[in-house]
Structure 1
Amino acid sequence: MTARVVLISPATSPALREARFGDDGPVDERGAERARAAAESLPGAVRTLTSASARCRGTAAGLGLRGVDAAELAPLDVGRWRGRTLDEVGAAEPEAVARWLADPSCAPHGGESVEDVCARVGGWLESAAEVSGRTLAVVEPEIVRAAVVHALGVPAAAFWRLDVPPLTATELSGRTARWNVRLGRPL
């Protein structure tokens, strides 16, 4: 059985433009507009999931989707950095930010490491391989990165090298331990 998973990155938000960690703010009006315009471009699916964030829920609503929050697809936990910008954290904790970006096992913020999120999402992806039909999931960019790292079997150090633009679809097809990836198709 071949599984099909389409990961949709959320629309733009003020927090995205500000490079704000884990800010659970909504999509902006332009992002919501773009999501509504893209609604017709989505394939049918047997299930629709979302990351548990206002931005992902708002994007799903704009796309006309009724997604169910999936705990395994929750955004990366950035601990005490939540709500702060990268510039703020970089000025206050430059060594911690440098360690976090260089070492995927490191979580200086007290939250989740990149390796942890890759393992969590990888486990979800393997269980998704058992679902017959297509799964659509509106998820934060770090969840897309983690899924691609797992699907391709690349080291977690590649995580930060993957760009995930807003409102793009990353498609994974295959089965346990054998995935094909189509990256970043604009909606």
Structure 2
Amino acid sequence: MTSRVTLISPALGPSMRQARFDDGRTSLDDDGAAQARTAAGTMRPAVRVVTSPSVRCRETATALGLSADDSPDELTGLRVGRWQGLTLDDVSRSEPEAVALWLGDPDSAPHGGESVRDLCLRIGQWLDTASRTDGHTIALVEPDVVRAVVVHVLGAPARAFWRADVPPLTATEITGRSERWNLRLGHPLQATRSR
């Protein structure tokens, strides 16, 4: 049995444009939704579609013409506690040491939320379950979920989490069986039409 998971990052919205820690309730902006609609129909057919619980991931799925089967809590982005809703600039000004610690130590959670390592473990557990599911899954997920997938699939240290950039509306594909994955990194959704 072979599983294929295509992870799609959400379209642009105000939180991404402002480098704001999304609170899960922020919608896409008009440009982001239009870009997602342009990419509709470019994905390979899937047996199931899941999303992170955030509004922007669910709206991206809808704009892409996909109907999500589920929005499991396991696919929630990194929980940043009291920083939720603030911009990175705001937090860097008010808590520079905490930001430096958070970016440098994958076990730290100075915001009172979850550590990067905990996120990577949570996403790794979801992937282990997905590896026992036959067929193709499309997952519209937060960029930090994609980063955690890359760390897990490559067996990289959690410290590598911040070294992966995940542009909006890109697909990262993994295929595998028996909890062993192969990785194809973020290609623009529009590029899949030529396949």
- Could you tell me how far 1:175 is from its partner in structure 2? 1.9
Q: How does 1:55-74 map to 2 (within 5 A)?
A: 55-67=56-68, 68-74=70-76
Q: How does 1:55-94 map to 2 (within 5 A)?
A: 55-67=56-68, 68-94=70-96
Q: What runs of 5+ residues in structure 1 fail to find an aligned partner?
A: none
Q: How does 1:4-23 map to 2 (within 5 A)?
A: 4-23=4-23
The answer to whether the aligner puts 1:157 opposite 2:159 as a matched pair is: yes
Amino acid at match of 1:133: G
CA distance in 1, matches of 2:185, 2:140: 15
CA distance in 2, matches of 1:95, 1:21: 18
Q: Is the 8 A contact 1:146 1:159 kept in 2?
A: yes
Q: Deviations over 1:72-131 (max 9, x none)?
A: 101111000000000000000000000000000000000010000000000000100011
1:26 is paired with a residue of what secondary structure? coil
- Could you tell me how far 1:176 is from its partner in structure 2? 3.2
Hey, what does 1:26 align to over in structure 2? 27
Amino acid at match of 1:28: D
Aligned Cα root-mean-square deviation (Å): 0.8
The answer to whether the aligner puts 1:49 opposite 2:47 as a matched pair is: no
Q: Is the 8 A contact 1:49 1:70 kept in 2?
A: yes
Q: What runs of 5+ residues in structure 2 fail to find an aligned partner?
A: 190-195
- Could you tell me how far 1:27 is from its partner in structure 2? 0.7
Q: How does 1:37-186 map to 2 (within 5 A)?
A: 37-67=38-68, 68-186=70-188
Q: Is the 8 A contact 1:151 1:177 kept in 2?
A: no
Q: Is the 8 A contact 1:35 1:167 kept in 2?
A: yes
Q: Is the 8 A contact 1:21 1:81 kept in 2?
A: yes
TM, length-normalised to structure 1? 0.98
CA distance in 1, matches of 2:29, 2:101: 32
Amino acid at match of 2:102: W
CA distance in 2, matches of 1:17, 1:157: 25
CA distance in 1, matches of 2:124, 2:93: 33
Q: Is the 8 A contact 2:50 2:140 kept in 1?
A: yes
- Could you tell me how far 1:177 is from its partner in structure 2? 3.7
Structure 1 residue runs of 4 or more that deviate by more than 4 Å after TM superposition? none
- Could you tell me how far 1:43 is from its partner in structure 2? 0.8
